[in-house]
Structure 1
Amino acid sequence: MGTLTEASGPKYKAVADRIRRAVQAGKLSAGERLPPVRELAYQLEITPGTVARAYTVLTDEGVLQAEVGRGTFVAGRSGQGDGMDTAAEPELGFELDVAPHNNEAGDGYYVNLFSPHLPNVGQAALIRELLTEVAQNPPSGFMHYPSRDAARPARQAAAHWLSHAAVGRVRESDVVFANGGQNALGLVMQTVLRGRRPVVLVEELFYPGFRRAAELLRADVVAVEMDADGIIPEALDAAARTHDAQILCTSPEAHNPTATYTPEDRRRAIAEVARKRDLQILDDNCYNMKAGAGPSYRLLAPERSWYVTSISKNITPALRVGFALAPPDRTAHLRRSAEQGFFGLATPLSDLMARLLVDPRLDAIADRVLDVTREYVQCAVNELGGYQLVWRPDVPFLWLTLPAGWRAGAFVQAAEARGVRLRPAEDFVLRTARAPHAVRLSVNTGVTLGAFARAMQRLRDLLGNPPEQITV
């Protein structure tokens, strides 16, 4: 594959010149799709900004035309469908992949596995339809502040949507809306934490959003030893006593990042420690994509359990809608934190939730999201199953312990050089802690299953060729 290492002058001009000459020579014909910016940048070993500037120059000249959400094409496209013939390889000094791309993330070399990416299996069309209804006749109007009364239908719909979770009966008055799951975590901590330097407990490996929310409130974060079943109760007891901790943040249904599950007997033991040490429990269930497999802490310890979830992992992350449930005698306190912080969800969004969360089509969409996620998880297992891999079909990420010879940081860098972006274990520990040599791979259904499989194959090849040769 050619690069621009020998090109003189600005590299964006060299890229533009090669594409322009290829068009003039008929090597690229009208309507052919050019590679995504990041993909071509990888091929040429230059920055994405350089490619983007070249595309902009040629678009301004009329050589190329950009279509929002579709890509960049040679000008003169006649409006044909997505399918198009692949031209003969252009003599540009580099390869151009002009195969069609099925979505915004592309179907080429670069695959982002940093965070999960949901498939669009009908939810976008449903949201568009319901947004149109809201825009034409908004029950809450467009000229009023959010209010509890106006949001009641949305809370009723949310209570219906939460009925699948193992949290017991949820009344509309129990629901407190947030601007996404992360905002809900912050609201809970604002409501619970007190004193100048409160202490928040987390698992040894934990969702970094816990730390970010705690640090915003000037809280100290302390990690608690864990094993394959989650937090070790004896370690929790010691940490709560030593640090006078106020709240434990945990994800018992779908632990992030390890995809493990805390069994019921361990949950009961943790709940007993929390009672003994007067410790609140924040149960983060944002990543669980199906009904809870075990009782939530809201059922095991209702007097001290705070439950958080959102629609980001089974409908869409774009709307930024989360839910928080407080212990029965603390709901008013949690609602006050939300109302004094941002008044409430924007009224059009609240009106949308009142429709979306009870729409009869939504369950089928959520099931289809889960089905597609399972396909991609199985694909990853098929390619990487020979290594130490933790996975579940209903969790949109996998935890990979690296073989001898690989360190997480080096592996992440090597993977990115081959077009695959991952998260190292260092992202999921305290800054002063030692991290295992492991990485998290998220499911990205924004690329085709074939592109995802090829990314897994590149990772498999890396795993089998560590830079450090271990000898005995």
Structure 2
Amino acid sequence: MKGIEPMSEHDYRLIADEVAAAIDAGRLRPGQQLPTQRAFARRRGIANSTAGRVYRELVARGLVVGEVGRGTFVRAGRGTASAVPLAEPAAARVDLELNYPVVPEQSALLAAGLAPLLRADVLDAALRPVPVTGTADAREAFAALAAGTTTRTAPGTATGPDRPDWQPSPDDLLFAGNGRQALAAALASLVPPGQRLGVEALTYPVVKALAQRLGIVLVPLPVDEHGLLPDALATAARGGPLRALYLQPRLQNPLGATLSPERRAHLAAEVRRLDVPVVEDAIWSFLHPGAPPLAALVPERTVLVDSLSKRLAPGLSTGFAVVPRGLHGAVGAALRSGGSAPSGFALEAAVRWIADGTLETVAAAKRADAAQRQVLARHLLTGRRLHADPTSYYLWWELPPAWRADTFVAAAGRAGIAVTPAAAFAVGSHAALSAVRVGLASPPVPVLTRALATLAELADSLPEDHLDRSGRRGGG
């Protein structure tokens, strides 16, 4: 456009400040659509590129959300619980965001395993500092746990019909205080700041946060309902070297997909051909024990990260990693420099729970619980566009066309229910999908039943039905 002078970085932020003030004052309301960037530029007498910078700044501040093919909208806030009735008081929050499964019998089972630890001599040893290499007993127990067997078998012995010859050496084990610390150490050791990490286009939000903190550039790789598309790895590599690949090949979060044997083999072949190290997140794999890890096919390139936070409880969140010999020193150094050594008490307790079968008993109970909750969710959300594995604790819900994810999340929040918008998982674009992830693990089943019924009623209504007297979207 002729006659428009380029603006300085300071100037475009001043315009963003003006729009932010209009949102804060209520002149631009939650859910209201902004003009196109071209129309905004004409009105302001600025270049189209400057308008784009203004909009990107507003997205970065969390004030607006862009959606492909629909435009840019003022983001709806969470607000407080209001009109949609639940049996709990309106101020109570039903958490369908965080997923920490607890089954009724687990406390009694865990308590029995802890009793021997309370002897003075045993407790004294368990309270001493433990290095990131753990103890000999811990390495032995967790190697068996990672392999899916409770007892050690000879190397080269298959552990099941769908698990090809994977028996990690105890010497490959490293430990951390929790799974996030193990994950952070793996990423930091493999991907230098400014370098590229391939991830599923919908990925674990913690990885997005870790990448930002570590200065890692995330490269989104396309997925479908069956998981990562293996050919996307080569396509991404043509745009620049990938220093590593992070993925969840079993019960991927948020889609719940598990790679088929054919797709897993195809991906393993691509990883070898491109010589790309892999960080495999196995946090939910205990719910789908029949599927082997990618590490079984490419053990020399794969760091498998796991934790006990889902198998047992968040307060018992010992993290561990199976690390190829060539990467062992780098990952161990990253753990030590981050102060991520495990708790000796938690590690010793875990060793006992693995050995006496307690951990597998609790895991089996959670598998049954997850299956029950999936059946319940499918029943209450019949006819909706859902993606989920019948063994998982979460589902991906593509919302009706009338709803955008942020307005649905806001309306659900005012009903006292927390769900996660698609934008929390999306990588590579600020364009948000009209979908939410619903976690099924945390509330008791009766509370979950009422919450899912409320969400179904909400989805069947229209967003405009949930405008309160102030013009903000609320529960109805």
User: TM-score, structure 2 length as denominator?
Assistant: 0.71
Instruction: Give the match's secondary structure for 2:208.
Output: helix
Q: What is the CA–CA distance in structure 2 between the aligned matches of 1:203 and 1:275, rounded to whole Å?
A: 18
Instruction: Give the whole-Å Cα distance in 1 for the aligned partners of 2:219 and 2:127.
Output: 45
8 Å contact kept, 2:141–2:355: yes
State the 1:182 CA deviation: 1.4
Is 2:372 the partner of 1:370?
A: no
Match of 1:467 among 463, 467, 476: 463
1:237 Cα shift?
0.8
SS in 2 for 1:306: strand
Distance 1:306 1:134, change over 3 A: same
Alpha-carbon distance in structure 2 between the residues aligned to 1:129 and 1:372: 22
Aligned CA distance change for structure 1 residues 288 and 107 (closer, same or farther; 3 Å): farther
Partner of 1:399: 396
SS at match of 1:141: helix
> TM-score, normalized by length of structure 1?
0.72
Distance 1:169-1:468 versus aligned 2 partners, 3 A rule = same
Structure 1 residues 402 and 43: CA distance shift in structure 2, 3 A: closer
Is the partner of 1:455 in helix, strand or coil? helix
Q: 1:343 deviation in Å?
A: 6.6
Q: Is the 8 A contact 2:311 2:359 kept in 1?
A: no
Describe the shift of the 1:464–1:352 C-alpha distance in structure 2 as closer, same or farther (beyond 3 A).
Answer: same
CA distance in 2, matches of 1:282, 1:370: 25
Structure showing greater relative contact order (alpha-carbon pairs closer than 8 Å, 6 or more residues apart): 2
Counterpart amino acid of residue 287 in structure 1: W
What is the one-letter code of the residue matched to 1:122?
E
Mean Cα deviation higher: 316-325 or 332-341: 332-341
How far does residue 468 in structure 1 lie from its aligned partner after superposition? 6.2
1:276 aligns with 2:259: no
Contact 1:112-1:444 within 8 A present in 2 as well: no
CA offset at residue 281 of structure 1? 1.2
Does the 8 Å contact 2:306/2:321 carry over to 1?
yes
Q: Does 1:200 align with 2:197?
A: yes
Q: Equivalents in 2 of 1:297, 1:426: separation in Å? A: 27
Q: Deviations over 1:81-111 (max 9, x none)?
A: xxxxxxxxxxxxxx998xxx9xxxx999642
Shift of 1:270: 2.0
2:158 aligned with 1:162, yes or no? no
- The code of the aligned residue for 2:430 comes to A
- Give the CA deviation at 1:145: 3.0
What corresponds to 1:138 in structure 2? 122
Q: Is the 8 A contact 1:246 1:278 kept in 2?
A: no
C-alpha contact (below 8 Å) 1:241/1:277 kept by paired residues: no
2:175 pairs, out of 174, 177, 186, with 177
Q: Which residue of structure 1 lines up, in the alignment, with residue 10 of structure 2?
A: none
Q: Which amino acid aligns with 1:455?
A: A
Q: Secondary structure at the match of 1:223?
A: strand
Contact kept, 8 Å, 1:207 with 1:256, in 2: the verdict is yes
Supply the distance in 1 between the matched residues of 2:293 and 2:422 (Cα, whole angstroms): 27
Aligned partners of 2:197 and 2:216 also within 8 Å: yes
Change (3 A) 1:261 1:350: closer
Do the aligned partners of 2:301 and 2:324 also contact (CA within 8 Å) in 1? yes
* Residue 384, structure 1, aligned to residue 368, structure 2: no
1:305-454 alignment, distance < 5 Å = 305-342=302-339, 344-430=341-427, 432-447=429-444, 449-454=445-450
| Pair 1:271–1:456, CA change in 2 (3 A) | same
Alpha-carbon distance between aligned partners in 1 of 2:383 and 2:92, rounded to the nearest angstrom: 24
- CA shift, 1:415, in A, is 0.9
- Pick closer, same or farther for the CA change 1:215–1:42 going to 2, 3 Å: closer
CA distance in 2, matches of 1:412, 1:148: 40
1:191 aligns with 189
1 CA distance for matches of 2:234 and 2:428? 23
Matched, 1:112 2:95: yes
Q: Say whether 1:458 aligns with 2:454.
A: yes
Shift of 1:421: 0.8
CA displacement 1:407-451 (0-9 Å, x = unmatched): 00011111111121100001001363322110000013432x222
CA contact (8 A) 2:132 2:340 kept: no
Determine the C-alpha separation between the residues in 2 that align with 1:329 and 1:468: 58
Q: Could you list the runs of 5+ residues in structure 1 that have no partner in the other structure?
A: 1-40, 46-94
**2:319, 2:342 within 8 Å by CA — same for their partners in 1?**
no
Report the Cα distance in structure 2 between the residues aligned to 1:174 and 1:140, rounded to whole angstroms: 27
Q: Structure 1 residues 186, 438: closer, same or farther in 2, change over 3 A? A: same
- What's the secondary structure of 2:185's corresponding residue? helix
Give the secondary structure class of the aligned counterpart of 2:413: helix
2:230 is aligned to 233
Hey, what's the Cα distance between the residues in 2 that align with 1:159 and 1:276?
Answer: 28
Same amino acid, percent of matched pairs: 25
Hey, what's the Cα distance between the residues in 2 that align with 1:274 and 1:444? 33
2-side partners of 1:176 and 1:264: how far apart? 28
Counterpart in 2 of 1:121? Answer: 104
Say whether 1:244 aligns with 2:241: yes
Q: Deviations over 1:124-177 (max 9, x none)?
A: 233334444324233662674324787221222212322317481023222111
- Match for 1:192: what amino acid? L
Do structure 1's residue 260 and structure 2's residue 282 form an aligned pair? no
Which SS does the other structure have where 1:303 is aligned?
coil
Structure 2: state its 5+ residue gaps.
1-79, 150-162, 466-476
* More off after superposition, 106-115 vs 236-245: 106-115
Asked whether the equivalents of residues 175 and 324 of structure 1 are also in contact (C-alpha less than 8 Å), the reply is yes
Q: Quick one: structure 1 residues 396 and 96, their matched pair in 2 at CA, closer, same or farther if it must change by over 3 Å?
A: closer
Deviation per residue, 1:217-272 (Å, 9 max, x gap): 21111111222222223322121231211011111111111112221222222222
Contact conserved, 1:121 with 1:368, CA < 8 A, in 2?
A: no
